[in-house]
Amino acid sequence: MKSFRETLLNAKNVLILTGSGISAESGIPTFRGAGGFWRKYQAQSLATPEVFASNPSLVWEFYEYRRTVAAQAKPNKAHEAIAEFQKRLSKENKIVSIVTQNIDGLHQRAGAENVLELHGSLYKTRCTKCKNVEQNESLPICPALEGKGSPDPKALSSDIPVEDLPRCEKQDCGGLLRPHIVWFGENLDKDVLRKAYEAVETCDACLVIGTSSVVYPAAMFAPQVARRGISVAEFNIESTPATRDFKYHFEGPCTVTVPEALETQEC
């Protein structure tokens, strides 16, 4: 850890990549682990355009639940240490890019700026008709979803009629809204990807926190930085398929290891 902290002292452009593990200690279940289930579904089996097309009511119940859970969660010491680190370095005209796979908004709520959300956000909707994207934090998102989304495996689907699901309020549109989230099998936004690649190609130090590194293209970024000969530190409670690519692997809960790495060097 001492040698990684030395690297950070000399870095001018730090890339911080995060996955659902950074929000685990805020009470938001990760994908893989027991918490990755909602009712009898694995989270990722609902995060697809096919399921949304065939059963938009079920998918909206799933996301209404996740919007509620994330809204009640608090940023933890790892989110806060990253936001502080970014503030401190920006005072010295140094860059800290935060690129997250998460859609819970906790980095922003901890005070981080210019967070790149690779997979979108729970609090943005996109119209399936006019494509308009809106920020939307209201709970429930619409009257028909009030009190819906219980994760109880015995809970029955509400089969909300599609006209009562979230609808576009743009003039003469009224199209069905979907979460502005990248589902499995969908491409990432090309601008977001471009910015992510730029950070990967220009950073001079990298932290990869709380990700199992199995979902592409996000899983490619940290190994790509390592191939440039840049020091990458992985923060996880276990090793991952990418661990062998990295110079450092700090094992333990990230609320302990990330502040240790980022906090100012007591002089």
Q: Which residues are catalytic?
A: 119
* Tokens, residue 244: 């062998």
Binding partner of 191, given ligand BV8, Zn ion, none, CB within 5-8 angstroms per partner class: none
| Distance from C-alpha of 221 to C-alpha of 135, rounded to nearest angstrom | 27
Cβ distance to ligand BV8 smaller for residue 26 or 97: 26
Q: What angle do CA 134, 138, 141 make, to 5 degrees?
A: 85
Q: Minimum distance between the CB of residue 125 and ligand BV8, rounded to whole angstroms?
A: 14
Task: Enumerate the H helices of the chain as residue ranges.
Answer: 2-10, 43-46, 49-54, 56-72, 77-91, 106-109, 190-202, 218-227, 254-262
**Among the listed residues 222, 220, 240, the one whose alpha carbon sits nearest the alpha carbon of residue 231:** 222
Q: Minimum distance between the CB of residue 172 and Zn ion, rounded to whole angstroms?
A: 9
Nearest residue to ligand BV8, scored by beta-carbon proximity: 21
Q: Minimum distance between the CB of residue 267 and ligand BV8, rounded to whole angstroms?
A: 29
> Is 25 an interacting residue with respect to ligand BV8 (CB under 6 A)?
yes
Q: Residues 51, 160, 173, 192: which binds Zn ion (CB under 5 A)? A: 173
Cβ distance to ligand BV8 smaller for residue 204 or 262: 262
Q: Are 237 and 256 in contact (CB under 8 A)?
A: no
Q: Are 262 and 82 in contact (CB under 8 A)?
A: yes
Q: Minimum distance between the CB of residue 115 and Zn ion, rounded to whole angstroms?
A: 26
The residues that touch ligand BV8, with contacts defined as CB under 6 A, are 19-21, 24-25, 30-32, 47, 101, 103, 119, 181-187, 210-212, 214-216, 218, 235-238, 240, 253-254
